[in-house]
Chain A
Amino acid sequence: GESVGLHLPTLSVQEGDNSIINCAYSNSASDYFIWYKQESGKGPQFIIDIRSNMDKRQGQRVTVLLNKTVKHLSLQIAATQPGDSAVYFCAENTLSNTGKLIFGQGTTLQVKP
C-alpha cells in the first residue's frame, strides 16, 4: 500500500552542524515530494519540494535529494540553527491525482546550542 515513512523519530544536532533527515517512500507512482516543517502548535510550513525528474534541489540552507532507485528522500540543512528545531515531515503526491498528500511520521529535530 501507499506509505511514506521516516527512518529516525528524533535527531539531535549541535548548532552549526549539518542535519540530514531521511524519508522512505513505497509508492513508485509518486512523482512529487515535499518537505514540511512543523513547529509546536502550528501548521506545516513548506520548506522545499522536488519532482521525480530531478535528483537534487537546493534552497536557502536546505537541499533535498531524491533517490528513486531505492525510494529514498532526504533533507539536508546546512549550519543548523536553534530556529530549525521542529518536526519535519516528508510528503508525497502523484501529479495526476487530486492533490492528496501522504505524509510520513515525522522526525523531531533538536538543535543544541
Chain B
Amino acid sequence: EPEVTQTPSHQVTQMGQEVILRCVPISNHLYFYWYRQILGQKVEFLVSFYNNEISEKSEIFDDQFSVERPDGSNFTLKIRSTKLEDSAMYFCASSDVTGGETQYFGPGTRLLVL
C-alpha cells in the first residue's frame, strides 16, 4: 500500500539554524500539506500546496517558513531560522484532490530546537 514517507525521523538543531524537512508524498497525489503538532496538543495546519503554489497558509506559517517541490517526488518544508517554539512533530500529508478526499499522513519528523 502506498504511503507518505518523511525524513529525517528526528532532527535536533540549535536556535537560529536552518532546517529542511523532507517528504515523499504518495506518487499519484496532487495536493500536499504540512501540519505540526506540539507535544500533547492537537494537530495544526501549516500550509497546503498545489500546482507548485501555496494554496493556503496559516498564521503559524510566517516568513521563516517555506515549502518547495524541487522535483517530481519530494516536498520540503524549510525553516530558515529556528526558534525554540518551533519544536514539534511535523507531519506531511497528501491527497488525490482537495476538500473532500482523504489526506494521508506521513510518520512525522520530530524537531527539537535547543
Binding site for B on A (CB under 8 A): 32, 34, 36, 41-46, 49, 51, 89, 91, 93-106
Contacts and interface: CB of A to CB of B under 8 A. Distances in A.
Nearest to B54: A98
Given A46-B104, A94-B99, 13 more contacts: A41-B108, A42-B108, A43-B105, A45-B105, A46-B102, A49-B102, A93-B100, A98-B48, A98-B98, A99-B55, A100-B58, A103-B35, A103-B42
14 contacts: A32-B99, A34-B102, A43-B91, A49-B102, A51-B100, A91-B43, A93-B100, A98-B48, A99-B48, A99-B103, A100-B48, A101-B33, A102-B45, A105-B41
B68 interface: no
Contacts of A106: 42
